[in-house]
Structure 1
Amino acid sequence: MTDLANHLSLFLREHLPRDRGASRHTVDNYAHSFRLLVTFVASEIGKRPHALSIADLDAPMILRFLDHIENDRGNKPRTRNARLAAIKSFFRYLEWRAPDRLDLVKRVQAIPAKTYDKALIDYLSRSELQAILDTPDRRTVGGLRDRAMLHLAYAGGLRASELVQLQVQDLEQPGMTDVRILGKGRRERVLPLWAETRSVLRDWLAVRPDASNTHLFVNARHQPMSRHGFANRLRVHVAKATRRAPTLSSKTVTPHVMRHSCAMHILEATGDIRKVALWLGHSSVQTTEMYLRVDPAEKLDVLHASAPPAIRKGSFTGVSDRLISMLSDVHSRPVTRSKPPTT
C-alpha cells in the first residue's frame, strides 16, 4: 500500500482504539469519513483509492471535498465540521509519523470549521414522552425490549451509542438500583434507576433470549442492537404514539431528542445546570448551556420548578480496492469493549 493507505490503516486500527482509547462509535465514524474522502479524491484526480498518496490530500483538495459533501451530498455544516475534525485528527497523527509532510499538515490544520446558526434544541413534553413510552406491546418479546430501551434511554439521558453498547453486567445486581455507562471520551458514570425503569428492565431480562453475547439489548437475530436499529424502533413507536399525542406529528423524534428531553426535565425539576451536566456525562458545563437557550417562559418555569418528572446513510459498492476494503472492514467490525483495569 502507499504511504497514505499504510498510515491510515495504522491510524484507524491501532492509534485511535489503542493509543487514544476511542470508542467503537468514533472509529466507525472516522472510517466512514475517510471512505468518503478517498473516494472523492480518487475520482477527482483519476487514481484508484489504494494508489493515493498523502500529497494528494492537500488543503485545496480537502476544501473541495468539504464543499462537495455540503453542496452535492446535502450534509449540514455540523456534519461538514465533523468530517473536517476527523481529517485534522489524522493529520495530527502524521506530524510524528511523516515529518517530511509537515508543511502540508500545517496547511490542513489551518482549515477553519464552518460557522453556522445553532437552532434551539427540540425536546418532548411529558405527555408526548409518556405516549411514546406506553406504545410498545407488553405481550411480545420485542415490545418488552423496546419498552425497556425507551425507558432507559430517557431516564439516563443516554446517547444511542451508550444505550446499545450496554452489557448485562452493567446493571447493578441483584437490586438493579443503578447502571454503569461508558460515555463519550471513555468517561464512565453511574446513574441511579427509577423504580419504573427497574421494573421494565426486569420484564425484559425475564424474556431476553440466551444470546451468545452479553449485550443488554439484542435484535430479532439475537445480535447486538445497533444505533440504527434503535432509531428505527423509536420511529415506529413515535408513529403509533402520534394518535394519542397529535403534537408529535410536528416533531422529528430521534434518540438525541429523547436525551434532550431528559436534560430539560431535569433542569426544570432542579434548576441546576451542573446536575444536568453530571447526569448526561458532559465534560464541561459549557456543553450543557444549550439547555438554557429556551424561551423566557420556560426560564421562569425553571426558576420555580421543584417537583421531579412524573414520567412513570449511503453506501459505496461495486468497487474492489484494497484501501476501500480496509476502510470498510474497520467500519463494519463487530463492537468490542475492553474491561476497565482493576486496581
Structure 2
Amino acid sequence: MTLLAPHLTAFLRERLPHERHASPHTCDAYAYAFQLLLTFASKRLRTQPSSLTLEQLDVPLVLAFLDELETSRGNTARTRNARLAAIKSFARFIEFRVPSCVQQSHGLLAIPSKKTDEKLVGFLTRDEMQAVLDAPDPRARDGVRDRAMLHLAFAAGLRVSELVGLKLDDVTLQPQAAIHVRGKGRRERVLPLWKTTTKALRAWLVLRGSATCPELFLNARGGPLTRDGFEHILAKHVKTATATTPSLKKKRVSPHVLRHSCAMHTLEATRDIRKVALWLGHATAQTTEIYVRADPTAKLEAIDAVLPPALRRGRFRAPDKLLASLRPSRKGA
C-alpha cells in the first residue's frame, strides 16, 4: 500500500506551480478540491486523511464523492466537473510517478464529465456600465483608485486575476497608453487604453505614490489588492449605482460580468469575433462564440439577408355560434 500524502503534497507544491506553471488561483482551487475529497474519503473509510493510500482513491470512491457534491452540497454540474478536473490532473501525475497504479489512474481518467447548460452570458448595457463607472467618489483616495480599477477592468476586459495581478511596470503611458497583461494559460497581450481610462489611471498613480509594493492597485494597508477585495469594492459601487439605474437590481454583477460587457460592446462596435478574441486573450475564437449567441444584432442581420417564406393568403371565418355551443366540453369528453 502506498501512502497518498507524499504524492499529493508533491503534486500541489511542485508539479502544479513549478512544472505546470499553474496560477495561484488554480493551485488553490485544486487544493480545495482535494480538501473536499479527503474529508469525504476519511468519513467513508473511517480513517484519518493522512493515513489514506493511493489504492483507496479508486473509481467507486471518486464517483461517490462526485455524487455527494451534487446531492448534499448542492453543487452544479460545472462545479462537479471542475473538481473532477483536479482529480484527473493528479491521476496523470500518478500514472508516471507510481507505475503500479497505472490501471487505477486510467480508471480515474475514464470518468466522464457531465454536460452543462450553455446559458447566455450576462452583461451590462451602456447606461448600466456608465452608472457603475460613475459610482466611485473622485474626491476620496479610495474613490480615485476604485474608478481607475473599474475603468481598466471594463476597457481591457480583464479577468479579476489579471486586474489584481497587474504590476506598476506593466503600465505604459507614453507615447501610447497601454498595459501588458499576463493572462490565463501564460498568454500575454498588450492592450492600448482609451483617453478616459488613461486619465483615471494617471489620477490614481499620483495618489499611489512610491509604495514599495510592486502591484498597481493597493489596499488600504498598502498591500496588494486581492480577488475578494475587488469583488467587495465592485458590489459596493453597484449598490450605489442602483439608485440611479434601477435595472441593475435585476442583474448579478460580478467582476467577470465587466469582462462580458467589454466583449459584447466590442462585438457590437466591430462586428468581428476575431477582434474580440484578440482583445480578451482567448486561445481560440471558439471560446468567443458565446458572445455571438447573446448578441441579437447578429440574428437581425441573418433575418435581413434571408428571404422569408411566402404566407398563403386566406381569410379567417368564425364558426357558426349555434354549432359552437353544441360542442361537448373538454371535461366531459
Calculate the TM-score normalised by the size of structure 2.
0.87
Offset of 1:235 from its aligned partner?
0.6
Does 2:55 correspond to 1:62? no
Distance change >3 Å, CA 302–CA 263, structure 1 → 2:
farther
In the alignment, which residue of structure 2 is the partner of 1:127? 127
Aligned to 1:291: 291
Aligned equivalent of 1:266: 266
User: What is the CA RMSD across the aligned residues, in angstroms?
Assistant: 1.8
Instruction: Within 5 Å, give how 1:200-211 maps onto structure 2.
Output: 200-208=200-208, 210-211=210-211
SS in 2 for 1:158: coil
Q: Does 1:38 find its partner at 2:18?
A: no
Contact 1:271–1:303 (CA under 8 A) maintained in structure 2:
no
- Give 1:244-283 correspondences, 5 Å limit: 244-283=244-283
Q: Any stretches of 5+ residues in structure 2 without a counterpart?
A: 305-333
- Retained in 2: the 8 A contact 1:209–1:222? no
1:210 Cα offset (Å): 4.3
Paired AA for residue 162 in structure 2: E
Residue identity matched to 2:158: L
Q: Deviations over 1:81-127 (max 9, x none)?
A: 11111110111111110110011101100111111221111100000
| Farther-moved stretch of structure 1 (24-33 vs 256-265) | 24-33
Q: Distance in 2 between matches of 1:180 and 1:130?
A: 25
Amino acid across the alignment from 1:178:
A
Shift of 1:3: 3.1
User: Given that residues 180 and 189 in structure 2 are in contact (C-alpha distance below 8 angstroms), is that contact kept between their aligned partners in structure 1?
Assistant: yes
Name the counterpart of 2:185.
185
SS of the residue corresponding to residue 3 of structure 1 reads coil
Contact 2:264 2:295 in 1 (8 A): no
Q: Which residue matches 2:53? A: 53
Q: What whole-Å deviation, never above 9, does each CA across 1:20-69 have from its counterpart, x for those lacking one?
A: 12111211111111111111111211111111111121111111111222
CA distance in 2, matches of 1:3, 1:187: 37
The number of equivalent residue pairs is 303
Take 1:134 and 1:294, find their aligned partners in 2: how far apart are those partners? 26
8 Å contact from structure 1 (residues 145, 204) kept in 2: yes
* Cα distance in structure 1, aligned partners of 2:48 and 2:204: 49
Q: Bigger CA drift: 45-54 or 132-141?
A: 45-54
For the pair 1:114 / 2:103, whether they are aligned, the reply is no
Instruction: Give, in angstroms, the shift of residue 300 of structure 1.
Output: 3.0
Structural mapping, 1:189-338, within 5 Å: 189-208=189-208, 210-294=210-294, 296-297=296-297, 299-300=299-300
Change in Cα spacing, 1:299 to 1:155, as seen in structure 2 (3 Å) is farther
CA deviations on 1:200-237 (whole Å, 9 max, x unpaired) are 11111111154432111111121211111111111111
1:174 positional shift: 4.3
Read off the aligned partner of 2:168 and give its amino acid letter. Answer: V
Would you say the 8 A contact 1:136–1:237 is kept in 2?
yes
Alignment of 1:162 onto 2:162: yes
Q: Is the 8 A contact 2:173 2:198 kept in 1?
A: no
Percent identity, aligned pairs only, is: 53
| Paired residues of 1:270 and 1:302 also in contact (CA < 8 A) | no
| 3-state DSSP of counterpart to 2:107 | helix
- Judged with a 3 Å threshold, the aligned counterparts in structure 2 of structure 1 residues 250 and 298 are, in CA distance, closer, same or farther, namely farther
For residue 279 of structure 1, what is the amino acid of its counterpart? W
Moved more, 204-213 or 88-97: 204-213
Q: In structure 2, how many angstroms separate the alpha carbons of the residues matched to 1:42 and 1:283?
A: 39
Q: CA deviation at 1:136?
A: 0.4
1:152 and 2:152 aligned: yes
Aligned-residue offset at 1:298: 5.6
Task: Summarize the Cα distance change of 1:33–1:269 in structure 2 as closer, same or farther, 3 Å threshold.
Answer: same
Query: How far 1:198 sits from its partner (Å)?
Result: 0.7
Higher relative contact order (CA 8 A, sep 6+): 1
Code of the residue aligned with 2:43 in structure 1: it is S
Q: Does the aligned pair in 1 maintain the 2:3–2:51 contact within 8 Å?
A: no
Asked if 1 retains the 8 angstrom alpha-carbon contact of 2:70 and 2:76, the reply is yes
**CA separation of 1:292/1:248 partners in 2, compared to 1, >3 Å: closer, same or farther?**
same
1:102 counterpart residue number = 102
Dislocated runs of 4+, deviation >6 Å: 301-304
In structure 2, give the amino acid aligned to 1:16: L
Give the unaligned 5+ runs of structure 1: 305-343
Answer with 1 or 2: which has the greater Rg.
2
1:122-166 per-residue CA deviation (whole Å, 9 max, x = no partner) reads 100000000000000111111111111111110110111111111
| Whole-angstrom CA distance in 1 between matches of 2:22 and 2:154 | 25
Q: Report deviation, 1:303.
A: 11
**Secondary structure of the residue that 2:191 maps to in structure 1?**
strand
